[in-house]
Amino acid sequence: MSAPSADPASVNLRPWLGQMRPFAGLMALGILLNLIALASSVGLIALSGWFLSAAALAGTSAATAATFNFLLPSAGVRGFAITRTAGRYGERVASHEGTLRLLSRLRRHLYQAIEPLSPTALQRYGSSDLMARLTADVDALDNLYLRVVTPSIVAMGIIVLCGVVIGVFVPAIGIFAALALAISGTLGPWLAWRRGHRLSHHWQALDTDLRARLLERLPALSELLLYGRWQPETEALLDAQRERDQQELALAGLWGRSQLLSQVLLGLTITGVLAMAAWWSVNRDLSPTLIALMGLSVMGAFEAIAMLPQAWQNLGRIQRAAGRLDELTERVPSIAFPAESRAIPDDNGLEIRDLDVRFADGTRALSEFSLTLAPGEHFALLGPSGGGKTTLLNTLVRFVPPTSGSILLGGVPLEQLDEATLRASMAVAPQETHLFVASYRDNLKLGNPAAGDDELYELLQALDLTGWLDDQPDGLDSYPDEGGSSLSGGQLKRFGIARALLSRAPILLLDEPTEGLDERTARRVLATIRARAGSRTLLMITHHAGGLEQLDRIGIMDEGQLLEVGPPQALLENLDSRFSALQQQIVL
C-alpha cells in the first residue's frame, strides 16, 4: 500500500477481539481443553519422574518394595495419558469450530466496513491487488484467537500450575519456577516482536514496490526485449529482491536470537529449580524423590512456553493486518447517501452542470463539463482513452465525488437521492465486467432477478453470444473459470452489456460497449443496444467512431472537456470537425 502506516505496535485490537464475544463459551471451552491436554502432558512426565524416584528408593530393600503403593501413581499415569489424548482432540475440534465461526463474522464485518467506500477511491488508493491483500489480512486476523489468545492464556495457566505443583512442597521454589518460566517464555519473543515491526514494515514496503515494478514491466515485455533491456531489468529486479530478502533474513535472525535467549533463560530456570530442590532435600525436610518431579514439571512446561514465540510473531502479523484494515477504512472516503430521497425525479433526463473533478494527486479529470441529455435521448461520448470519459461515468454513479458542479436526474440533484433510488434509476455496464463465481444465469440475473430464460436467450442471441453459449457444457448453468477467462475480452464485454440491458432502469450507461469487437459485430451490438434502450436515456462512451451515425447526438471530449456536440450527420458534414477527422481511415 502506498500510504505510510501508523506504528503497528499501537494498533488497537480491541474491536477485533470484540468480534469473539458471541463465541466466548466455545472459545473458553477450547482453551480449557487445551489447558487440560497440556496439564496432563506436564502431569504425565512429572508424575512418572516422581514414580520412578520413589519406586527406585523403595526398591532398595525388599520390605519397602513390597509395601510401596504403586496403584495410585500408575493409575495417575494412565489417566494423564488418556486425558492428554482426549483433551487434545476436544481442543482441536472446539478451537477450530470457534475460529471458523469467528472467520464468518470477521468477513461480514470487513465486508460491511468496505461496502460504503467509494470503489474508485479504493482503486486509486490500493496497489495492484488491494483486494487480495485484504483477503489475506482477514485470514491473518482469524489467527488472533487460535494462535495468539489461546496459547498465551494456556501458557500462563501452565506456568501458574507448574508453580503451584512445586509450591505445594516448597513455596519458594514454586514462586521462583513460575516467575522464571514466565520471564524466559516472554522476554525473548517480546523483544523480537518490538524490533520485528520495523523489519517487517520495511520488508512490506520493498515487497510492494518490487511487485508493482514487476507488474509494470510485464506488459512492456515486447519493448524491453526488443530494446535489449529485459536482461538488465531482470538483474535490477533480482538485486532489489536480494535487498528485500535481507530483511527477511534479519527477521529470521531476530527470531533465532529470541529462541537463544529463551533457551538460556530456561536453562538457568531449570538449573535453579534443580539446585534449590537438591539443597532443600539435603538441608531441609524435602523428600529427594520430589527433585525429579520438580525438574520434569519445569521441563514439561516448555511445551506450553514454546508456543509463545509463535504467538508473538503472529501478534505482529495480526497487528499489521488490522492496522492496514483500519487505515483503509479511515483513509478511503465513503459515499454518503440520505436515508430517504428528498425529492422524486420528474423524468429520466440528465443534466450535468459545470462539473469539475480533481483527484487527490492533483490530476484534473473533468473541467467545467456541461451536458444535458433529454429524456429518452441516445447519446455517445467519444474521445481518446484518458480523456475523462470513465471519470464522468463514475461521477454519474457517485463512485467519484465532483469537486464542484452538479448532476441532476429528472431535475433532482443526485445527492438528494437515496442509494436504492439512484441504483434503480441507472443500469450500468462498466469498463471491466466482473463475473462472479456463480452460474452464468445468476450472473446475468444480477441485472434483473425476475428475468426469464427466454429473455436471457433472446438477448444473448441479439448480442451474438449464442455461439459462445453453445460451447458451454451446461449452457446457462455453467460456471465461469475463476477470473472469467472462459470468455474472450469482447464476449465478456457483451455479457456485461446484456446484464445492464436486462435491468429496467430508465437510464443506461455503457462504458466502451464495442471495445474489442470487429466492425460487423460492433454494429450489430450497437443496433441491439439502441433497440433495447427504446425510450430510456442512453449514454455510452467509446473511443471507437464506427457505427455512431445511428445515435441522436454525439459529443467529443478530451482532457476533461467537451469539445463538440451535435447530431452525427451534422458533425460529419463539417469537414473541420473532430468527428469527421476521426473518420479519416480505411475501414475494412
- The nearer residue to another protein, 110 or 463, going by C-beta atoms, is 110
Edge-first strand order for the sheet with 426-429 is: 426-429, 507-511, 537-542, 378-382, 553-558, 561-566
Pairing of strands 412-413, 404-409: antiparallel
- The nearer residue to another protein, 10 or 330, going by C-beta atoms, is 330
Pairing of strands 426-429, 553-558: unpaired
- The nearer residue to another protein, 7 or 243, going by C-beta atoms, is 243
Residues 367-426 that bind another protein (CB under 8 A): 383-386, 397, 399, 419-420, 423-424, 426
d(CA 514, CA 500): 14
Q: Which residues pair with 357 in a beta bridge?
A: 366
d(CA 136, CA 159): 33
Work out whether 39 is an interface residue with another protein (CB under 8 A). Answer: no
In whole angstroms, how close is the CB of 324 to another protein at the nearest point?
A: 14
Segment contacting another protein by CB under 8 A, of 7-15, 83-91, 198-206, 471-479: 83-91
Residues 138-197 that bind another protein (CB under 8 A): 138-139
- The nearer residue to another protein, 87 or 174, going by C-beta atoms, is 87
In whole angstroms, how close is the CB of 216 to another protein at the nearest point?
A: 6
Residues 287-316 that bind another protein (CB under 8 A): 288-289, 291-292, 295-296, 299
Residues 100-129 that bind another protein (CB under 8 A): 100-101, 103-105, 107-108, 111-112, 114-115, 119, 128-129
Q: What track of x and - describes contact with another protein for positions 421 through 460 (by CB under 8 A)?
A: --xx-x-x-x--xx-xx--------xx-------------
In whole angstroms, how close is the CB of 343 to another protein at the nearest point?
A: 19
Segment contacting another protein by CB under 8 A, of 3-11, 70-78, 150-158, 457-465: 70-78
- The nearer residue to another protein, 213 or 353, going by C-beta atoms, is 213
Burial classification of residue 105, based on how many CB atoms lie within 10 Å of its CB (0-12 exposed, 13-18 middle, 19 or more buried): middle
8-state DSSP, 438 = S
In whole angstroms, how close is the CB of 215 to another protein at the nearest point?
A: 4
Residues 518-547 that bind another protein (CB under 8 A): 518-519, 543
Phi–psi pair at 69, nearest 5 degrees: -85, 100
Q: Copy the grid coordinates of residue 394.
A: 463514475
154: nearest Cα among 56, 16, 38, 261: 38
Q: With CB under 8 A as the rule, give the number of residues binding another protein.
A: 159
In whole angstroms, how close is the CB of 374 to another protein at the nearest point?
A: 24
Segment contacting another protein by CB under 8 A, of 22-30, 151-159, 481-489, 531-539: 481-489
In whole angstroms, how close is the CB of 187 to another protein at the nearest point?
A: 13
- The nearer residue to another protein, 267 or 411, going by C-beta atoms, is 267
In whole angstroms, how close is the CB of 371 to another protein at the nearest point?
A: 18
Q: Which residues of 235-250 are buried (b: 16+ CB within 10 A; e: fewer)?
A: eeeeeeeeebeebeee
Of 51, 312, 379, 440, the residue at the interface with another protein (CB under 8 A) is 51
d(CA 582, CA 211): 38
Alpha-helix runs per DSSP H in 148-229: 150-169, 171-217, 221-226
d(CA 393, CA 510): 8
Of 3, 24, 131, 172, the residue at the interface with another protein (CB under 8 A) is 131
d(CA 243, CA 207): 10
493: nearest Cα among 527, 517, 519: 517
Residues 205-244 that bind another protein (CB under 8 A): 210-232, 234, 237-238, 241-242
Segment contacting another protein by CB under 8 A, of 92-100, 323-331, 405-413, 464-472: 92-100
Of 3, 24, 336, 581, the residue at the interface with another protein (CB under 8 A) is 581
Q: Copy the grid coordinates of residue 325.
A: 484494515
Q: Copy the grid coordinates of residue 281.
A: 532435600
In whole angstroms, how close is the CB of 108 to another protein at the nearest point?
A: 4
137: nearest Cα among 25, 274, 8, 310: 8
- The nearer residue to another protein, 274 or 565, going by C-beta atoms, is 274
Segment contacting another protein by CB under 8 A, of 11-19, 97-105, 346-354, 530-538: 97-105
126: nearest Cα among 139, 137, 141: 137
- The nearer residue to another protein, 119 or 475, going by C-beta atoms, is 119
535: nearest Cα among 397, 378, 327, 384: 378
Q: What track of x and - describes contact with another protein for positions 319 through 348 (by CB under 8 A)?
A: ------------------------------
Of 23, 84, 501, 551, the residue at the interface with another protein (CB under 8 A) is 84
User: What is the number of other CB atoms lying within 10 angstroms of the CB of residue 511?
Assistant: 24
Judge contact between 391 and 400, C-beta under 8 A.
yes
Alpha-helix runs per DSSP H in 59-170: 62-67, 71-114, 119-125, 130-141, 143, 150-169
Work out whether 248 is an interface residue with another protein (CB under 8 A). Answer: yes
Instruction: Report CA 344 to chain centroid distance, whole Å.
Output: 38
In whole angstroms, how close is the CB of 10 to another protein at the nearest point?
A: 27
Work out whether 569 is an interface residue with another protein (CB under 8 A). Answer: no
- The nearer residue to another protein, 107 or 530, going by C-beta atoms, is 107
